[in-house]
């Protein structure tokens, strides 16, 4: 699933009508990077809208699992002062990365944190197979988390019902419902006859966020 969105009034509103509230976060003056931590990646940009360039760094501790980090936080270096903030529930994961995007539609940029789905390791250890996407913004001068894929996936839960004439009805957990035309989709011969009539009753489920575009 692909998500697009826009920020308005402190809320993130998706194109499917689901509204996710922004969460205010605290930040602190930056401290020296500790010995066991490393810079995972860094990007230049302007996240404060003050005209000066910042360096945004994702910091974390590498675990025994290749490319899996824990205790991650974001450090923002500025000429006047440098700050850092904790990532809390999204402070660990596989192949984490950050980039800057113009999501709020303002002069400054927003910070996008992405955590890839984990690869299969072994039968004894379960893996997180869902893409993690989080967006942080200094909208209105305060630090906010304005998008959280975990919250979005929970809100986006729903049931899919296949209907005749290549139509699919999607009923969301929020109460919203949509009719989609899937006649141009592939592999429909197991669901529909050539006339477009459905072969028996078919149900499905809305899948979690798998891709994000801006």
Give me 137's structure tokens.
Answer: 């913004």
pLDDT of residue 176: 73
7 Rama class: left (phi>0) / alpha (psi -120 to 50) / beta: beta
pLDDT of residue 15: 44
The string of DSSP letters for 93-134 reads EEEEEEEEE--SSSSS-EEEEEEEPPPP-BTTB----S-EEE
Given a contact cutoff of 8 angstroms between Cβ atoms, the answer to whether 204 and 188 are in contact is no
Query: Is 185 in a helix, a strand, or coil?
Result: coil
pLDDT tens for the chain, 214 residues long, are 333 333 333 445 444 555 667 788 999 999 999 999 999 999 999 998 776 789 999 999 999 999 999 999 999 998 778 999 999 888 999 999 999 998 877 778 999 999 998 776 544 444 556 788 999 998 777 899 988 888 777 777 778 888 899 888 888 776 777 788 888 877 788 888 888 888 887 777 766 666 665 5
pLDDT of residue 213: 59
Give me 145's structure tokens.
Answer: 């988390």
């Amino acid at each position: 699933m692909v998500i697009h969105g826009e920020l308005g009034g402190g809320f993130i509103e998706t194109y499917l009508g689901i509204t996710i509230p922004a969460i205010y976060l605290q930040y602190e003056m930056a401290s020296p990077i500790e010995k066991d931590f490393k810079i995972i990646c860094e990007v230049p940009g302007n996240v404060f809208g003050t005209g000066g360039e910042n360096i945004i760094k994702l910091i974390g501790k590498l675990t025994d699992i290749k490319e899996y980090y824990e205790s991650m936080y974001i450090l923002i270096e500025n000429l006047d002062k440098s700050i850092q903030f904790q990532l809390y529930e999204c402070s660990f994961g596989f192949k984490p990365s950050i980039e800057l995007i113009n999501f709020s539609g303002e002069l400054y940029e927003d910070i996008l944190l992405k955590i890839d789905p984990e690869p299969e390791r072994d039968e004894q250890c379960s893996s997180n197979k869902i893409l993690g996407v989080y967006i942080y913004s200094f909208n209105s001068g305060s630090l906010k988390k304005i998008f959280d894929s975990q919250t979005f996936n929970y809100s986006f839960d729903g049931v899919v019902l296949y209907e005749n004439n290549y139509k699919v009805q999607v009923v969301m957990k929020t109460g919203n419902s949509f009719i989609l035309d899937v006649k141009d989709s592939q592999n429909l011969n197991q669901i529909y006859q050539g006339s477009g009539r459905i072969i028996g009753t078919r149900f499905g489920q809305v899948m979690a966020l798998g891709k994000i575009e801006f």
